[in-house]
Homo-oligomer: A and B are copies of this chain.
Amino acid sequence: MKIGVLGGGQLGRMLGLAGIAMGHEFVFYDDGERPCAGPVGEVRPLAELGPLRDLDVLTYEFENVFEAVDRAYRQEVIVAPGRRAIEVSSDRLTEKDYFTSLKIPTARYRPFDNPATFDEAVAQIGYPCVAKTRRFGYDGKGQMVLQGEQDREACLAMAGEKPMVLEAFVPFSREVSLVCTRAANGQKVFYPLVENWHRDGILITTLAPAPGLTPELQEQAEGYVGAIADELAYVGTLAVEFFQIHDELMASEMAPRVHNSGHWTIEGAETSQFENHIRAITGSPLGSTAAIGMSAMFNLIGIQPNPDMILSMPGAHLHWYGKEVREGRKVGHVTVRSDSEADFGRNIAMASAMIAPS
């Protein structure tokens, strides 16, 4: 099939690599100068998104494309995942309302958009809390933790006139996420829950499966994510990030697309999240999500470590996105796969040292 992708970043690139292997062709809609996905498909400007008669299906690899998706929809292009998934998840307030409507626990929240509504929100939520822009936030951008009144002015300055949401600070034990793929016929497959480490709001490391993962916790997560996927009649791969507090999960946010915390599946699972997304949107049966040993995924953020040092580690796999290295930019990732727990610990330590931030 000929698959259109809104966005031509690294997620598009990895979708392309997975899909070409299966015989598909790709067109990426991206206005960037040298999009990352360029080597694996044709690149077209976003404005060319028209009736798309030469494409079999259109998908997206980042969520801030609601208008384009909406336009495609009105032109009766098959878009997978559908329009509602992106509508719900592209605004933090809608997203949290949506979690609540499905009885999925989430941190208490209140919207605000001026000093008066901010003060009302604080009165309800209390300190410490987290202020987040409702739209276009990613990788920790547009977020701020407020410890007390002393942070009020800085927060209002950051917010400006943007619609915001104020969330209660959750004293979580750790952050985990679940990646799920759902087919049009309702078939759902879930990868094991993974543990995520963030720095300055950016994902730096994923451990898969999450150490100490219990069947009960996995079941809890699958229940929540499965409910979302079914309610949205979702087609493709989606991810939900959770805070874990003791044995309970609280949804933090969802991404209606392949997700950074699922990159380990390329080597660490029987079928990758990218391949399963392609299988889903092309109407094929989904593949096994079983983990093969244990994996640790390390993002390369604004650094280009010596590739030979990484490649000399047993079980290490280097993914380089072909981007220029800039501060704070995700330019690649490394997955280290291990068969035994002993190797896993050693490999994480080695890789962490090697990929230390500059």
Contact = CB atoms under 8 A, between A and B. Distances in A.
A358 B13 CA distance: 36
A25 B292 contact: no
Given A285-B312, A337-B270, A22 B279 contact: no
Contacts of A307: 22, 284
B25 A20 contact: no
Interface in A294-342: 307-308, 311-312, 314-322, 332, 337
A23 to B, nearest CB: 3
Give the interface size bracket for A toward B.
35 or more
Contacts of A22: 307, 318-320
Contacts of A332: 23
Given A292-B292, A311-B285, A312-B285, A40 B23 contact: no
A39 interface: yes
A87 B198 CA distance: 54
A167 B20 CA distance: 41
B308 A285 contact: yes
A348 interface: no
B270 A321 contact: no
B270 A288 contact: no
A291 to B, nearest CB: 11
A287 interface: yes
A36 to B, nearest CB: 10
Nearest to A37: B20
A82 interface: no
A353 interface: no
A315 B288 contact: yes
Interface in A123-163: none
B17 A320 contact: no
Contacts of A317: 271, 287
A180 B80 CA distance: 42
A304 to B, nearest CB: 10
A41 interface: yes
B23 A17 contact: no
A39 B17 contact: no
Nearest to A266: B21
A25 to B, nearest CB: 6
A311 B24 CA distance: 15
Interface centre among A14, A17, A283, A293 (most CB of B within 10 A): A17
Interface centre among A22, A25, A267, A320 (most CB of B within 10 A): A22
A307 B279 CA distance: 10
24 contacts: A14-B21, A17-B21, A20-B322, A21-B266, A21-B320, A22-B318, A22-B319, A22-B320, A23-B319, A23-B320, A23-B321, A23-B322, A23-B332, A25-B39, A39-B40, A39-B41, A270-B315, A283-B308, A284-B308, A284-B311, A287-B311, A287-B316, A287-B317, A288-B314
Given A20-B40, A20-B322, A22-B318, 13 more contacts: A13-B20, A17-B20, A21-B266, A22-B319, A23-B319, A23-B321, A25-B322, A39-B40, A39-B41, A270-B314, A271-B317, A284-B308, A288-B315
